[in-house]
Amino acid sequence: MTTAKTKTLAADGQAPAVPIPRTSTLSSARTRRLGLTVLGWAIACLIFFPIFWMVLTGFKTESAAIADPSLIFSPTLESYAEVQLRADYFKFALNSVVVAFGSTLAALLIAIPSAYSMAFLPTKRTKGTLLWMLSTKMLPPVGVLVPIYLLFRDVGLLDTRTGLTIVYTLMNLPIVVWMLYTFFKDLPKDILEAGRMDGASTLQEVVFLLLPLTLPGIASTGLLSVILSWNEAFWSLNLTSSNAAPLTAYIASFSSPEGLFWAKLSAASTMAIAPILVFGWLTQKQMVRGLTFGAVK
């Protein structure tokens, strides 16, 4: 290090003619970074492998799918055609879109005012309420399946998009309120107070100040809610049959008592996850920005 320094100084800021030997600290830092990069990629590949294999299997014939695993095969769209023949993909996809976005919108509409009051007008019971809300997520859903099923049957909500939207809204509400609460809490109270001094009503405070300033957080919360609703299977399988069934029910319909048809199942699964995968990929910048919002100031 010292030699390097002296040489640089001797050359009066110019690059020295003799290359400076890399110092040990520098190279060890590089090695570590390289190691971490390799490890990161390895873990990513491990996690992604099942999805990759599923996509691959979707392009195989049924016989190739159950044969010895191989990367070399002649790809075919046979499974996709058969899958589409058996069930209308687009009907299910539309249900998924309506229910996922509908429930997210509803959850945000309920959660924004509640998170606002918890973040800016807290009472002694606010913390307890938040924890209680979260605790409902720890209850196994099957525990409330029968009462909800009976309720839905009596009011005619079984196998309707409205019914499923209501369930998803309630399912995601605790998480949505929690996330919004943490984003709102990061906003300096002074800004809203300044708004109040300027004559803003509570609604104007929310619309002109709170929402624009926490938009990244609200967006990432919404995205998470969409993804959770899209991937939900338990309620959709139990509360829908044909009219309102979303893509998760569509996939499940391919595991039949006659046996598993891997190629068709893979093709159906690939089609089911494709929209949300593309959606997630397009919005990942927003997601990361939202989830790390407030962490770095």
Partner 1 sequence: MATLQLNQVTKSFDDTHVIKGVDLEVNDKEFVVFVGPSGCGKSTLLRMIAGLESATSGDIMIDGTRMNEVGPADRGLAMVFQSYALYPHMTVEDNMGFSLRLAGVDKEQRRDKVREAARILQLEPLLDRKPKALSGGQRQRVAIGRAIVRNPSIFLFDEPLSNLDAALRVQMRIELARLHEELDATMIYVTHDQIEAMTMADKIVVLQGGVVEQVGSPMELYHHPRNRFVAGFIGSPKMNFLPVEVVEADAEGVRVRLPGGGVTKVPVEGRDLRPGTALELGIRPEHLVLDDDQGPLSGDIQVLERLGGQTSLYVQMDDAMVTIMADGDVAHRVHDKVRFGFESGRAHLFDSDGLALPSLELHPLAGLRRQDNRAATDVNGA
Query: From the list 213, 237, 287, 291, which residue makes contact with partner 1 (rule: CB under 8 A)?
Result: 213
Query: From the list 4, 93, 105, 200, which residue makes contact with partner 1 (rule: CB under 8 A)?
Result: 200
| Residue closer to partner 1 (CB basis): 163 or 216 | 216
Stretch that binds partner 1, among 47-55, 84-92, 93-101, 194-202 (CB under 8 A): 194-202
Stretch that binds partner 1, among 33-41, 66-74, 199-207, 223-231 (CB under 8 A): 199-207
Question: What separation in angstroms does the CA of 159 have from each of 34, 192, 213, 247?
Answer: 53, 44, 39, 14
DSSP string, the chain: -HHHHHHHHHTTTSPPSSPPPPPHHHHHHHHHHHHHHHHHHHHHHHHHHHHHHHHHHHTS-HHHHHSS--S-----SHHHHHHHHHS-HHHHHHHHHHHHHHHHHHHHHHHHHHHHHHHHS--TTHHHHHHHHHHGGGS-GGGGHHHHHHHHHHHT-TT-HHHHHHHHHHHHHHHHHHHHHHHHHTS-HHHHHHHHHTT--HHHIIIIIIHHHTHHHHHHHHHHHHHHHHH--HHHHHH-SSSS--HHHHHHTTEETTEE-HHHHHHHHHHHHHHHHHHHHHHHHHHHHHHTBTTB-
| Residue closer to partner 1 (CB basis): 101 or 208 | 208
Q: How many residues of this chain bind partner 1 (CB under 8 A)?
A: 16
Minimum CB distance to partner 1, residue 110 (Å): 25
Minimum CB distance to partner 1, residue 296 (Å): 15
- Contact predicate 101/226, CB 8 Å: yes
Minimum CB distance to partner 1, residue 285 (Å): 19
Query: From the list 19, 188, 257, 259, which residue makes contact with partner 1 (rule: CB under 8 A)?
Result: 188
Query: From the list 7, 91, 196, 289, which residue makes contact with partner 1 (rule: CB under 8 A)?
Result: 196
Q: Is 257 in the site for partner 1 (CB under 8 A)?
A: no
Minimum CB distance to partner 1, residue 193 (Å): 5
Query: From the list 204, 231, 253, 286, which residue makes contact with partner 1 (rule: CB under 8 A)?
Result: 204
Q: Is 190 in the site for partner 1 (CB under 8 A)?
A: yes
Query: From the list 58, 195, 216, 246, which residue makes contact with partner 1 (rule: CB under 8 A)?
Result: 195
Minimum CB distance to partner 1, residue 105 (Å): 23
Query: From the list 73, 208, 234, 279, which residue makes contact with partner 1 (rule: CB under 8 A)?
Result: 208
- Contact predicate 235/244, CB 8 Å: no
- Which residues of the shown chain bind partner 1 in the complex (CB under 8 A)? 188, 190-191, 193-200, 204, 208-209, 212-213
